[in-house]
Amino acid sequence: METPIESVSRVIRQRKTLKVFADEPVAEGLDPHVVEALIATAGWAPFHFPAANVHLRGNTLNALEPWRFYLFDAAACGNLRKILLHEGDQTKIPRMLAAASAMILVTWLPHPSKTGNNQLFEPTQINMEHIAATSAAIQNLLLAATAREIKTYWSSGGRLGKPEQMKTLGIPSGEILLGSVFLWTENFTDLPTTTGKMRQKRSPISQWSKWVEVPKPA
Ligand SMILES: Cc1cc2nc3c(=O)[nH]c(=O)nc-3n(C[C@H](O)[C@H](O)[C@H](O)COP(=O)(O)O)c2cc1C
């Protein structure tokens, strides 16, 4: 019988990037209740600061969490794929949308810039921690999916994160895409797949962690 410690460790190690490509829509949808259960688990991520008021006023999604999750079922993935193809998208995204059982766009909510410069967002402590919290929520989502044997891919999202694209999807301006998470439930033995290019490049923990010795104060 697996202990909770073993279960957590297994699921974390089992989480693995998988990209699946199809030329035509092939995926059966994922039960919306399952998607919502995954999101509910994701939302238990830690977060340090509330989102700025500018993101709460006048928006249907007005929670103080610094992240937003936009859920696409297989039908929505299919329609989005058609829109992208119509726009001439030659990236791998339309082919992944054809294979996805669901896709989730995860944005984070930057604090408004005080300097008014052209940066995507201001490099402040709060913004750093908003990104960190949203990343933790995405990782929760990946782990919750993995525990249900749903395969996942956290993509930067490419053109899905462009302001004009987000606008057409009803995502408020000012939000920044942190991840486009693809969920795959089918057994795609006949479809091309790839894994993450960094998967096998992990280093031993001694190369990225060390015990810190603090001399005893005199
Ligand atoms: C913030 C973030 C963005 C990512 N974006 C992409 C992406 O756009 N394209 C891609 O091929 N992989 C992307 N990945 C997945 C990584 O390539 C993958 O995690 C890495 O190769 C390690 O493989 P593993 O997830 O199987 O451990 C992204 C991962 C993270 C954390």
Query: Residue 183: which pLDDT band, with cuts at 50, 70 and 90?
Result: very high
Q: Would the CB of 156 count as within 6 Å of ligand 1?
A: yes
Nearest CA-CA partner of 91 in 34, 19, 33, 13: 19
Query: Residue 166: which pLDDT band, with cuts at 50, 70 and 90?
Result: very high
Q: What is the mean pLDDT of residues 130-153?
A: 98
Supply the pLDDT for residue 145: 98
- The superfamily CATH assigns to domain 15-207 is NADH Oxidase (3.40.109.10)
Q: Where are the domains of the chain?
A: 15-207
Q: What is the mean pLDDT of residues 7-19?
A: 98
Instruction: Give me the sign of the Cα torsion angle 59, 60, 66, 68.
Output: negative
Distance 98 CA to ligand 1 centre (A): 20
pTM higher than 0.95 for the full model? yes
Low-confidence winner among 13-17, 31-35, 117-121 (lowest mean pLDDT): 117-121
Contact 180, 142 (CB under 8 A): no
28 pLDDT higher than 90: no
Q: Would the CB of 119 count as within 6 Å of ligand 1?
A: no
Distance 193 CA to ligand 1 centre (A): 14
17, 151, 152, 153: residue to mutate for ligand 1 pocket, most atoms within 8 A of CB: 17
